[in-house]
Homo-oligomer: A and B are copies of this chain.
C-alpha cells in the first residue's frame, strides 16, 4: 500500500506534536501525564485538550526504556487448559489493571525448560515483576531472576525459602488435613489419586501429605490404593475404575487433583455406585460443580482468588518501592464437608 520508508512512515502522533499544539515543551507534556501536580492547572488543561484533539497515545515502550520502569507483569502457569487458573488470573488481572499494569501471560506446559525460555522472554520484555505458579525451576531460571532483581512471587505452594516471595497455601498440610478428616470420619481404606508427579512439586506434596496423615494416625499405607492420574474428568473416571478393581476395595477416595473427583462421581452414577454408602469421595479443589452435584462433594477450598489478588498486590507494593518485609504469605485452605463423605 504505502512506501515503507523510515521518514515517510506515519508512526502517529508524537508527544512533540502535542507539545507544539499546546505551546509547551515535550517535557511538560510528559509531566502532565505522569506527574500532573507538577504542572499548572492551566497548562494541564491545554495539554489534555491537545491530546484529545490529536488522539495522542503515549508510547510506553519509549517511556519504559527511558525511565527504566515497566508497567507489565508476567505470569507463567503450568497450563492454561484447565480452567483452574482462571480465577487466579482474573483476580491478579483485576488488581493490576486497576493500578495501570498490564498482564503478560504464558504457560510452560509443565516443562522446566519452557519456563526458562518464558522467563527469559519476559525479562527481555523488561517486566516489572513476575508471578510463577510452578515452584520448581531450572538453575538458569533462578539465576536470571535473581540477576534481574525484580519482584517475583511463587504461588503454587507455600515455600519456606522462595526465590523471592511466596503467596500460597500448603499443599502438604491441606492434603494431610483432608486425609485426617476422612480417617476421623471413620473410613478405613482411603484411596489416593495423585496428579502426575513429574515436574510437579504440588502433586508430590499432596501425596506426601496423605502419607504423613496416615503415618501420624498409625495407619499402614497400602500402595495399591495410591495411583496417579492426569487432571481431567476422564482420568478421574478411569482412576475410580482402577481402584474398584483391586482386591480389597477402598471405602473412600481422596482425589488430590483438579476435577478428577467430578469425573469419579460421574462414573459412580454411571455404574450405579452409591456415594457415600458404597464409596466416599473427597476432592482437593473446590470447583463450582462439586457443590452442585448430587450428592455434593466434600472438598478443599483453595484460596484461588486470594492468591491472585495478594500476589499482584505484593508485587505492586515492591515495584512502587514499599518495602514489603513479607516473604511468605500463607493464605490457608478450608475443608467443606458435603454429602459425599
Contact = CB atoms under 8 A, between A and B. Distances in A.
Given A57-B123, A106-B103, A147-B12, A263 B237 contact: no
Q: Contact size class for A?
A: 35 or more
Contacts of A100: 121
Interface in A83-113: 83-84, 86-87, 89-90, 93, 97, 100, 102-107
Given A55-B143, A288-B232, A289-B233, A125 B11 contact: no
Contact of A294 (B105, B263, B270, B288): B270
A34 to B, nearest CB: 12
A60 B106 contact: no
A181 to B, nearest CB: 25
A9 B62 CA distance: 19
Contacts of A270: 294
B102 A121 contact: yes
A184 interface: no
Contact of A86 (B83, B104, B233, B262): B83
A68 interface: yes
A266 B237 contact: no
A83 B144 CA distance: 32
A72 to B, nearest CB: 7
A40 interface: no
Interface in A266-320: 266, 269-270, 288-289, 292-294
B233 A61 contact: no
A7 B323 CA distance: 23
Given A81-B86, A233-B288, A266-B294, 8 more contacts: A57-B123, A80-B86, A83-B84, A100-B121, A102-B106, A103-B105, A104-B104, A233-B289
Interface of A: 9, 11-12, 55, 57-62, 64-65, 68, 70-72, 79-84, 86-87, 89-90, 93, 97, 100, 102-107, 118, 120-126, 143-144, 147-148, 232-233, 237, 262-263, 266, 269-270, 288-289, 292-294
